[in-house]
């Protein structure tokens, strides 16, 4: 369930409160001790009040027995009691006027029927009263920049930076807090959402988009509980220029098991998630380390002007690793021009080195002639084909054991960055073992972060480049038009192919011609109009899988065969489905072969209507080579879907067929998707056209099927 956007300002009071009450405070409560200790260690500047059963002094602060005894109405109440007492405490505080809560206790939705009931009561209560609640089954939050350490595990000394994290796992959030400084990056907000009884991930993303201190939003999620709000928030973040970087856990069968034990969330289909994240302009990382590196890259360097990278190193092996990895990712390491090459040689590049990109300045420079290095790097960066410069051996990327002069290194990086208009990225050569003191230096001098390893760094660069492209696309396309033409939709929600053809045609879906023949006497006229060969199909709303009963006859060569086919088809239909309404026989011309596409829409329980696009035959059946996008989709989405298909070369005529006109395909798919979108409220369950035959710019659906949600039909 989602927190209504209209109440977004309320979150400021949650994450930046001027006063906090801790309920369940006692000298024996480890939680109270930890939260209080964190607030103090973090330098919380607001008021803190304690409410506990026994009136005592807890860690130097007095407790009161009840909320009503407090001198102020706190902005937030941390409810640190066991699950069964949470609702009572909530009501007590709400009656006193508190509107924002943090509940840490486990034992709710993740813990069986009883817990689910408890959680439902809490969320219903909050909804009715318009209350904000973070949790339960979480660890609270830390607002590093705002100095509010409202966290259930002892927060270590952590530098402040522009990376925020929203996590469904408290343990993971804690791990990240501890881990980030060792990667020389700093944090802004860390918010653990637990079971999301009220506040969900989407609401937190929305809040973070509005915080100037947050530059990147990282997510650790195993279940996306409010799909549409999630998608909207991600899209808004992309438009706002703040990447949402997602680590999604729990995508397999075994995962589902572990996730259930953890928070009771439903685990969605991984391929749909992938499609959703691409569509909404989020970045997906498949390892936590990649999440950190990608976030660090953006936090430190912002949106890059491009990713055509020049690379300068002191080792040929590093050049090779850079080049290999760039090749794999399709990143461009541009060829430098002759002037740049000449300038490099003139500036002192050794004669036995090659003036090229990636540039190996050789050990001769890195050991004996260090002072030349920044000049060589600058010259390389200034080549017109270059967007960014990646360096090794400059700045804090250099390990301490190789150069203990950390300040000198950091300043050299800054000098180099100042000497060129191109961003200068410092890559560590291998998995980093960072000196924690470097982080202080970074914050003091404003040095950009070190990007961990060639592999992870280029992967991150590639991910952010895709994000930038998608962001530009989203900025261009604006709101997707979801206008639908005024078309009358038949009331009866069980459509034969004839009905489906008639409706979809009105939406502009190109469908191969055919005529519904209801009497054998009409065959002469219809077949004369089309010419031979013909195809005949039984037409009945109850017969969905025609081929299974021999309900399709191909290659009808003359009128006599057509009459026979009519008879055969109606007989077969009556035999297999005696109760089916037989509307007649669809008669149409056989079409020449071409590339065969499949387009379909299905209703996903989480994401609603999802469009699927693929090529026929082995592609779908064996390779499961299908591109997915939730509806509605833009023309760009469709063109992206076509490019994602491994079978894409076939569209371009890879097997000697005529190259397909991708725009014509997009027209057909968009009409099809538009029809599905228009039918969504009528209860569309599935829609499919298989095959759609493509010959150049000629795109024709040979078959259409539309199914609405309803009790199972009597006959299948």
Contacts with a second copy in 137-156 (CB under 8 A)? 153, 156
CB of 113 to a second copy, least distance (A): 14
Question: Does 272 interact with a second copy (rule: CB under 8 A)?
Answer: no
Using CA atoms, how far residue 402 sits from 300, 399, 448, in Å, is: 24, 5, 20
684-695/705-708 β-pairing? antiparallel
Rounded Cα distance between 577 and 714, Å, is: 9
Q: Which of 434, 461, 500, 706 binds a second copy (CB under 8 A)?
A: 434
Question: Does 261 interact with a second copy (rule: CB under 8 A)?
Answer: yes
Q: Which of 68, 430, 528, 716 binds a second copy (CB under 8 A)?
A: 430
Stretch touching a second copy by CB under 8 A, among 515-523, 648-656, 674-682, 694-702: 648-656
Question: Does 257 interact with a second copy (rule: CB under 8 A)?
Answer: yes
CB of 523 to a second copy, least distance (A): 32
Q: Which of 418, 529, 654, 716 binds a second copy (CB under 8 A)?
A: 654
> What count of other Cβ atoms lies within 10 Å of the Cβ of residue 324?
13
Closer to a second copy by CB, 571 or 621: give it. 621
Backbone angles phi, psi at 399, to 5 degrees: -65, 150
Token pair recorded at residue 369: 């002639």
The three state secondary structure string of 544-573 is CCHHHHCCEEEEECCHHHHHHHHHHHHHHH
First to last CA, the chain: 36
Using CB under 8 A as the binding rule, the residues of this chain from 295 to 324 that contact a second copy are 314-321, 323-324
Question: Does 288 interact with a second copy (rule: CB under 8 A)?
Answer: yes
Using CB under 8 A as the binding rule, the residues of this chain from 360 to 379 that contact a second copy are 360, 363, 367-368
CB of 561 to a second copy, least distance (A): 22
Q: Which of 356, 473, 484, 568 binds a second copy (CB under 8 A)?
A: 356
Token pair recorded at residue 389: 């410069």
Using CB under 8 A as the binding rule, the residues of this chain from 50 to 69 that contact a second copy are none
Strand partners, 192: 167
626-630/595-604 β-pairing? unpaired
Question: Does 649 interact with a second copy (rule: CB under 8 A)?
Answer: yes
Closer to a second copy by CB, 91 or 179: give it. 179
Using CB under 8 A as the binding rule, the residues of this chain from 469 to 488 that contact a second copy are none
CB of 439 to a second copy, least distance (A): 12
Q: Which of 402, 529, 554, 682 binds a second copy (CB under 8 A)?
A: 402
Backbone angles phi, psi at 291, to 5 degrees: -60, -45
Question: Does 107 interact with a second copy (rule: CB under 8 A)?
Answer: yes
Q: Which of 383, 452, 637, 700 binds a second copy (CB under 8 A)?
A: 452
Question: Does 653 interact with a second copy (rule: CB under 8 A)?
Answer: no
Token pair recorded at residue 197: 């009884």
76-79/61-64 β-pairing? unpaired
Token pair recorded at residue 72: 């102020």
160-167/140-143 β-pairing? unpaired
CB of 63 to a second copy, least distance (A): 23
> What count of other Cβ atoms lies within 10 Å of the Cβ of residue 259?
20
Stretch touching a second copy by CB under 8 A, among 407-415, 497-505, 514-522, 649-657: 649-657
Token pair recorded at residue 402: 């190789």
Stretch touching a second copy by CB under 8 A, among 106-114, 211-219, 443-451, 474-482: 106-114
- 364's torsion region: left (phi>0), alpha (psi -120 to 50) or beta? alpha
CB of 45 to a second copy, least distance (A): 26
Using CA atoms, how far residue 131 sits from 5, 67, 142, 197, 470, in Å, is: 13, 17, 20, 11, 36
Question: Does 262 interact with a second copy (rule: CB under 8 A)?
Answer: yes
Rounded Cα distance between 350 and 360, Å, is: 10
Rounded Cα distance between 231 and 279, Å, is: 9
Question: Does 326 interact with a second copy (rule: CB under 8 A)?
Answer: yes
CB of 223 to a second copy, least distance (A): 11
CB of 638 to a second copy, least distance (A): 21
Token pair recorded at residue 217: 């939003």
Q: Which of 26, 29, 175, 568 binds a second copy (CB under 8 A)?
A: 175
Using CA atoms, how far residue 259 sits from 194, 222, 240, 596, in Å, is: 12, 7, 32, 39
Q: What sign for the dihedral angle of Cα 27, 93, 6, 281?
A: positive
Question: Does 690 interact with a second copy (rule: CB under 8 A)?
Answer: no
Alpha helices in 587-681 (DSSP H): 618-621, 635-644, 648-651, 662-679
Question: Does 327 interact with a second copy (rule: CB under 8 A)?
Answer: yes
Closer to a second copy by CB, 557 or 646: give it. 646
Closer to a second copy by CB, 340 or 515: give it. 340
Q: Which of 146, 194, 227, 250 binds a second copy (CB under 8 A)?
A: 250
CB of 647 to a second copy, least distance (A): 7
CB of 595 to a second copy, least distance (A): 11
Question: Does 621 interact with a second copy (rule: CB under 8 A)?
Answer: yes
Question: Does 330 interact with a second copy (rule: CB under 8 A)?
Answer: no
Q: Which of 261, 682, 305, 266 is nearest to 461 (CA)?
A: 305
The interaxial angle of helices 662-679 and 635-644, nearest 10 deg, is: 120
Rounded Cα distance between 675 and 506, Å, is: 9
CB of 31 to a second copy, least distance (A): 11
Q: Are 14 and 75 in contact (CB under 8 A)?
A: yes
Closer to a second copy by CB, 360 or 640: give it. 360
Stretch touching a second copy by CB under 8 A, among 85-93, 374-382, 398-406, 599-607: 398-406
Instruction: Determine the 3-state secondary structure of 579 from DSSP.
Output: coil
Position of tokens 């007649």?
A: 584
DSSP string covering 278-339: HHTT-EE-SSHHHHHHHHHHHHHH-S-S---EEEEES-HHHHHHHHHHHHHHT---PPP-HH
Closer to a second copy by CB, 352 or 605: give it. 352
Separation of CA 670 from chain center: 22
Q: Which of 172, 389, 687, 704 binds a second copy (CB under 8 A)?
A: 172
Question: Does 252 interact with a second copy (rule: CB under 8 A)?
Answer: yes
Q: How many residues bind a second copy (CB under 8 A)?
A: 82
DSSP string covering 163-221: EEEEES-HHHHHHHHHHGGGGT--EEEEEE-TT-SSS-HHHHHHHHHT-TT--EEEEEE
The contact mask relative to a second copy for 581-620 (x = CB under 8 A, - = no) is ------------------------------------xxx-
Closer to a second copy by CB, 101 or 619: give it. 619
Question: Does 30 interact with a second copy (rule: CB under 8 A)?
Answer: yes
Question: Does 179 interact with a second copy (rule: CB under 8 A)?
Answer: yes
Using CB under 8 A as the binding rule, the residues of this chain from 627 to 646 that contact a second copy are 646
Closer to a second copy by CB, 622 or 714: give it. 622
Q: Which of 415, 411, 466, 484 is nearest to 677 (CA)?
A: 484
Using CB under 8 A as the binding rule, the residues of this chain from 205 to 234 that contact a second copy are 220, 222
Instruction: Determine the 3-state secondary structure of 153 from DSSP.
Output: coil
Question: Does 682 interact with a second copy (rule: CB under 8 A)?
Answer: no
Closer to a second copy by CB, 54 or 328: give it. 328
Question: Does 403 interact with a second copy (rule: CB under 8 A)?
Answer: no
Question: Does 338 interact with a second copy (rule: CB under 8 A)?
Answer: no
Q: Which of 185, 199, 272, 333 binds a second copy (CB under 8 A)?
A: 333
């Amino acid at each position: 369930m989602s927190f209504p956007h209209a109440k977004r300002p309320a979150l400021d009071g949650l994450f930046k409160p001027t006063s906090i009450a801790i309920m369940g405070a006692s000298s024996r409560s480890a939680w109270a001790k930890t939260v209080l200790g964190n607030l103090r260690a973090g330098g919380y500047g607001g008021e803190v009040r304690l409410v506990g059963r026994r009136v005592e002094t807890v860690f130097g602060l007095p407790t009161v027995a009840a909320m009503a005894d407090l001198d102020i109405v706190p902005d937030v109440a941390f409810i640190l009691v066991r699950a069964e007492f949470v609702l009572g405490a909530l009501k007590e505080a709400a009656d006193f006027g508190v509107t924002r809560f943090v509940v840490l206790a486990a034992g709710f939705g993740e813990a069986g029927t009883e817990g689910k009931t408890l959680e439902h009561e809490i969320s219903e209560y909050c909804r009715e009263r318009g209350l904000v609640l973070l949790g339960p089954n979480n660890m609270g939050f830390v607002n590093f920049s705002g100095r509010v350490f409202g966290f259930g595990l002892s927060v270590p000394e952590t530098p402040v930076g522009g990376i925020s994290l929203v996590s469904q796992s408290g343990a993971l959030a804690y791990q990240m807090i501890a881990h980030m400084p060792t990667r020389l990056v700093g944090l802004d907000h860390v918010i653990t959402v637990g079971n999301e009884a009220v506040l969900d991930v989407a609401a937190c993303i929305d809040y973070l988009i509005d915080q100037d201190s947050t530059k990147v939003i990282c997510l650790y999620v195993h279940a996306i509980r409010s799909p549409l709000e999630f998608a909207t928030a991600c899209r808004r973040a992309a438009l706002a220029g703040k990447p949402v970087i997602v680590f999604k856990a729990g995508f397999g069968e075994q995962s589902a098991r572990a996730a259930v034990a953890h928070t009771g969330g439903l685990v969605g289909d991984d391929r749909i998630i992938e499609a959703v994240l691409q569509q909404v302009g989020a970045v997906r990382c498949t390892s936590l380390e990649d999440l950190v590196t990608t976030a660090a890259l953006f936090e430190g360097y912002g949106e890059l002007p491009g990713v055509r990278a020049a690379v300068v190193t002191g080792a040929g092996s590093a050049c090779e690793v850079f080049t290999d990895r760039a090749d794999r990712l399709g990143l461009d390491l541009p060829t430098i021009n002759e002037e740049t090459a000449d300038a490099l040689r003139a500036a002192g590049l050794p004669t036995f080195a090659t003036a090229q990109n990636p540039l190996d300045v050789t050990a001769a420079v890195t050991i004996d002639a260090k002072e030349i290095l920044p000049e060589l790097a600058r010259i390389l960066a200034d080549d017109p084909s270059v967007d960014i410069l990646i360096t090794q051996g400059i700045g804090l990327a250099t390990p301490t054991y190789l150069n203990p002069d950390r300040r000198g290194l950091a300043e050299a990086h800054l000098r180099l960055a100042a000497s060129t208009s191109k961003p200068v990225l410092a890559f560590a050569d291998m998995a980093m073992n960072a000196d924690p003191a470097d982080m202080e230096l970074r914050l003091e001098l404003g040095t950009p972060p070190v990007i961990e390893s060639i592999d992870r760094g280029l992967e991150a660069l590639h991910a952010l480049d895709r994000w930038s492209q998608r962001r530009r696309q989203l900025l261009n396309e604006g709101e997707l038009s979801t206008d639908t033409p005024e078309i009358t939709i038949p009331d009866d929600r069980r459509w034969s192919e004839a009905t489906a053809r008639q409706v979809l045609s009105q939406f502009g879906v190109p469908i191969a011609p055919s005529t519904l023949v209801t009497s054998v006497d009409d065959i002469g006229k219809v077949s004369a109009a089309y010419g031979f060969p013909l195809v005949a199909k039984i037409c009945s709303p109850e017969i969905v899988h025609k081929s299974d009963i021999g309900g399709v006859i191909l290659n009808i060569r003359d009128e006599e065969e057509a009459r026979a086919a009519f008879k055969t088809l109606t007989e077969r239909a009556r035999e297999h489905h005696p109760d089916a309404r037989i509307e007649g026989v669809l008669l149409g011309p056989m079409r020449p072969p071409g590339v065969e596409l499949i387009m379909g829409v299905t209703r996903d329980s989480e994401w609603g209507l999802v469009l699927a696009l693929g090529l026929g035959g082995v592609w779908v059946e064996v390779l499961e080579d299908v591109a997915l996008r939730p509806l509605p989709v833009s023309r760009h989405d469709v063109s992206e879907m076509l490019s994602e298909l491994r079978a894409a070369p076939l569209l371009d005529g890879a097997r000697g067929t005529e190259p397909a006109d991708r725009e014509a395909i997009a027209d057909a798919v968009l009409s099809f998707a538009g029809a599905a979108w228009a039918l969504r409220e009528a209860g569309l369950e599935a829609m499919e056209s298989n095959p759609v035959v493509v010959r150049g710019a000629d795109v024709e659906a040979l078959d259409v099927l539309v199914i609405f949600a309803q009790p199972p039909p009597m006959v299948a």
